[in-house]
Amino acid sequence: MRGRLSTRVPVTLALVAAVTAVGMYAVPAGAGQRLYADASQFAVGAIAAAVCFAAARDHTGARAGWRVLLGIGLLTWTLVRLGWAFRDILEPDRAPTVTILDVGPLLLPALTFVALVAGSLALPRPVQASMRRDRTVLVIDSALIGGSLLALIRSAVPERFLDQAGQDPWASGFAAASPVADLVLVVMGLLLLVTRPSSRAGRVPLRLLVLGMLALGCSDTLRLLHLGDKALTPLESAGWLLGPALLALAAVSNRGVGDEAVAERIDGEWLHLLLPYLPVVATGVFLAVRTGSGGQLTSSEAYLGWLVLGLVVARQMFTIVDNTVLLARVSEGRRELHHQAYHDPLTGLANRALFRERLVLALDAYRYNQVPVALIFADLDDFKLINDGFGHAVGDKLLRLIAERLAAAVGPGDLVARLGGDEFAVLLERPGHQAEETGHRILTALREPYVIDGHTLGVSASLGLVLPERADEELTADVLLRRADAAMYVSKRRGKNAMARYAAGADGGPNADLPALLARAVGAPAEFGFEVHYQPIVRLKDGAVVAVEALARWTDPIAGPVDPEVFVTVAERTGLVAAIDDFVLDRACAQAAALASAYGHPIDVHVNVSAARLGRHGLEDAVLRALKQHAVRPSRLVVEITETRRIPDLPRAVEVLHRLRQYGVRVALDDFGSGYNALAQLHSLPVDIVKLDSSLTDVDVSPDRAGALCRSVLRICAELGVSVVAEGVETPERARALAALGCELGQGYLFGQPGPAHRLTATIPAQSDPSTAHLAS
């Protein structure tokens, strides 16, 4: 495109020069030259208008709009030239007079002005603002610079030229309007070129528009200065020929005002701010010097000065409005950022940061002013089952509804926060004796069913309530949160869907701080009540024990027996689960020989490993270290992937499992069919064994549905070469039904409850008697 334009411009200049030369030397002077000039201008204008309309048909939207406006302007300009040509024929010796035709040439700059304003909206803007504001500022800046330049030109032009042009006020007025309009358009185009970043291709038509209006402006100015002459000078004629030709070239350029283009980076913000005032300053300095040297301001200069001053005031008002809007947006942005920093994005409740700040302030008020305060910690019961069964989208909706009920159940001055996941906290300020009442109100509100996407869901929560004691001089927000958390776990151990109040005694009692106790216990597990129990895995056809699963059990010296579900959850939240996994792994390998002796033959040992560990360092080293230290054959160890957490780095987890299998260690998917262990994991992970969750093995209760599911999984695993262990086998009928479906291995209370290694027996009781126990008394 640039090559074509670089050819068109010289050709256009050459044609204009040829037409002008013909008018000067080949046409007789006088009326003939004037007729020739009007006719040539008519021809050029008509061709230019046609070119603009034709170019508009190849574009749409703003691209076509400014070309149509330009074509209409050139058409009116051309019709005026046609009228002048007819007058030249009818009145060859006419004197220059003002007629209705003299209004026509003003339509071209007027429509070009509209085209520039409309097309400028699609150009990139250095400062993003409203389009109406941008249009208004562009017009004010163009008029401001144009008025300043006009005042400067008016002061610099000798009086004799102005007296000659001003003999006929009407004629001089119409004649002066065109160059003034041309000046404003040239300024507007230059402003767009300087302050609007655009591509090189996008600036080409703008440059041609500026050059075209500049050419027309030169001819209009010369006409004003030679208003009484009947004949046109060569420069007047050349400008009126060159202007429409350049406007036509702008229309046929492939890109233009309103066209999308790749923006070049132009640092135009400071130009956008300072450029309108530079001509004002220059004009003011010039006039000040002239008046200071004894000169007098004319009335026109005074009027222009007042006009420029008014425009400066208007421009400053827009700047003040811009600053006000900008400050309002900055303030609003700060408020939004503050809200995002201190609120949960899902529920809109306060987040942990805001809750902790308010808790610190409440404790200060309690410590120094004896203002009562209470804290309720809430953990939803079995919320994971909602996510697993209905999806995370339903889970998110449920969390939002729970947040609404929590906010409605507390007082107006109390703070409800979501601390993360399914954990919530309530800060009760000035609770008086209503803290426990508020807790029970929360429990009642949360028990009501939830209807989401056509599903009726029920959910409960375990609450922990703590009130600071007068003796707690060094009580901190973290300590209070831990106490509330410990009380919440007491509710979990009591059966969930309840509230427990923290009341520490001399030994901590049942309200002991579980996270702190667990952190102490994993440093020396055996010393603080950790031990490993084993549950047998049997061959269903004959009841022979082929493996055992190692399970962690904890009886804390302070808190007493702690349910595995509770302390595993605490361990995962506090980052201690790896230490528990490594303890169980080491103890299981150390007792492998004793297990083989108890059953009379070597058996496999299954050890649970949190799925969250698979993508992290340490698991592979821990397994190899335990096998080497206790001289256990790798083929006897089975690593079971538990499903309580999603695997964070699946590719790395696959690499770790591949390396373990290369050593001979086998891999099992635990609780298959629930949580995250589903067909996707079976496809992605290299596994040797699948342990069916008890929800899929109740084939004796639901033989059709559960049987179909179980049969399908067994068929898939058989084709993949994966062994299957059925969990939750509690009755002989279920064991026989599973065996009939083709399941070879089973595990459950029918074959024995978990127990220490020294209590295991070598045989399994008959399946026909489910009341017999596998554990020695």
Query: pLDDT tens for residues 605-637?
Result: 999 998 878 877 888 999 999 999 999 999 999
Q: How many CB atoms are located within 10 Å of the residue 501 CB?
A: 19
DSSP letter assigned to residue 101: G
What local confidence, expressed as pLDDT, does residue 260 receive?
Answer: 43
Please report the sign of the dihedral spanned by the C-alpha atoms of residue 334, residue 338, residue 343, residue 344: positive
What local confidence, expressed as pLDDT, does residue 678 receive?
Answer: 65
Q: Does residue 205 contact residue 3 with C-beta atoms inside 8 Å? A: no
Point out the residues of the chain with pLDDT beneath 70: 1-33, 88, 92-104, 120-131, 133, 154-175, 196-202, 226-233, 254-309, 311, 318, 432-433, 470-474, 493, 503-513, 643-646, 674-678, 761-777
C-alpha–C-alpha distance, residues 679 and 687, integer Å? 12
Q: How far is CA 410 from the centre of its chain?
A: 33
C-alpha–C-alpha distance, residues 15 and 37, integer Å? 14
End-to-end Cα separation, the chain, in angstroms: 96
Q: What is the DSSP string of 20-73?
A: HHHHHHTS-TTHHHHHHHHHHHHHHHHHHHHHHHHHHTT--HHHHHHHHHHHHH
Per DSSP (E only), the strands in 364-517 are 373-380, 415-420, 423-429, 450-452, 455-457, 461-466, 499-501
Residues whose CB is less than 8 angstroms from the CB of residue 368 and which lie 6 or more positions away in sequence, other chains included: none
Q: Which helix (H) or strand (E) holds 399?
A: helix 392-409
Q: What is the mean pLDDT of the chain?
A: 79
C-alpha–C-alpha distance, residues 633 and 644, integer Å? 28
C-alpha–C-alpha distance, residues 274 and 315, integer Å? 12
Q: Does residue 715 contact residue 673 with C-beta atoms inside 8 Å? A: no
C-alpha–C-alpha distance, residues 739 and 133, integer Å? 80
> Which alpha helices (H) appear in 196-268, and where do they start and end?
200-225, 234-252
Nearest to 492 by CA among 465, 515, 513, 462: 462
C-alpha–C-alpha distance, residues 77 and 82, integer Å? 9
What local confidence, expressed as pLDDT, does residue 507 receive?
Answer: 36
What local confidence, expressed as pLDDT, does residue 358 receive?
Answer: 93
CA dihedral of residues 36, 39, 42, 44 (deg, nearest 10): -60
C-alpha–C-alpha distance, residues 94 and 82, integer Å? 16
C-alpha–C-alpha distance, residues 41 and 245, integer Å? 10
Nearest to 126 by CA among 344, 259, 273, 8: 273
Q: Does residue 239 contact residue 277 with C-beta atoms inside 8 Å? A: no
Q: Provide the whole-model pTM.
A: 0.49
Q: How many CB atoms are located within 10 Å of the residue 760 CB?
A: 22
What local confidence, expressed as pLDDT, does residue 94 receive?
Answer: 61
Q: SS3 for 270?
A: helix
Q: Does residue 721 contact residue 728 with C-beta atoms inside 8 Å? A: no
In this structure, are strands 499-501 and 461-466 parallel, antiparallel, or unpaired? parallel
In this structure, are strands 423-429 and 373-380 parallel, antiparallel, or unpaired? antiparallel
